[in-house]
Amino acid sequence: MNDTPGHDGATSSAASTGQRIVQRGLYFDELELGTVYVHSPGRTMTETDNVLFTTMTMNTQALHLDAAWSATQPFGQRLVNSMFTLATLVGQSVGQLTQGTIIGQLGLSDVSFPHPLFHGDTLYTETEITGLRPSTSRPGQGIVTMKHTGRNQDGTVVAEASRTALMWTAAGHRAAGEDRA
């Protein structure tokens, strides 16, 4: 029997009779301008998440770490680190949009946090495709611009960011020998 590992760590067997499905995002040519993708599940931000992320990234801001001091500030409590919010905002889109189909992130812009997240809040993210253009210098690839919007459990917008990424077309991925889907 010939078992070989795939890029996803799973093995395939020449003798298997079942269908094999590998999760992937969408290819450049599967995306449509103006389409909004609603990502699931939401992510509840815990105190542990916030303190761990904040200390791992050496961000000593008392607004994230010091409950007594934060209680004296305008929001009256610690805030979830905005960089953790941003990373989660983008991360929630990966499985649905870019898993295995992105070549690289090109940039982030227009990042804002109009309302804070607090411990126990749940972040829900959706992504709108705001720009699509084939790459002029890299055949089989395209540049995608996405607007990520995050809301808390009450529907209040807590984070927004535009992201630009270089992504495969289906044919370009196959030609490069990278297609695993």
Predicted confidence (pLDDT) per residue in 131-153, tens digit: 999 999 999 999 999 999 999 99
Strand duo 141-151 + 122-134: pairing:
antiparallel
Q: Report H helices in the chain.
A: 47-56, 62-65, 67-70, 82-93, 170-175
Write the DSSP string, 24-74: ----GGG--TT-EEEPSS-EEPPHHHHHHHHHHTT---HHHH-HHHHTTST
Q: Is the peptide bond before 41 cis (omega within 30 degrees of 0)?
A: yes
pTM strictly above 0.75:
yes
Biggest CA pair distance of the chain: 66
| pLDDT tens digit sequence for 65-123 | 999 999 999 999 999 999 999 999 999 999 999 999 999 999 999 999 999 999 999 99
Torsion angle in degrees (nearest 10) through CA of 56, 164, 44, 49:
0
The one-letter amino acid code at 91 reads G
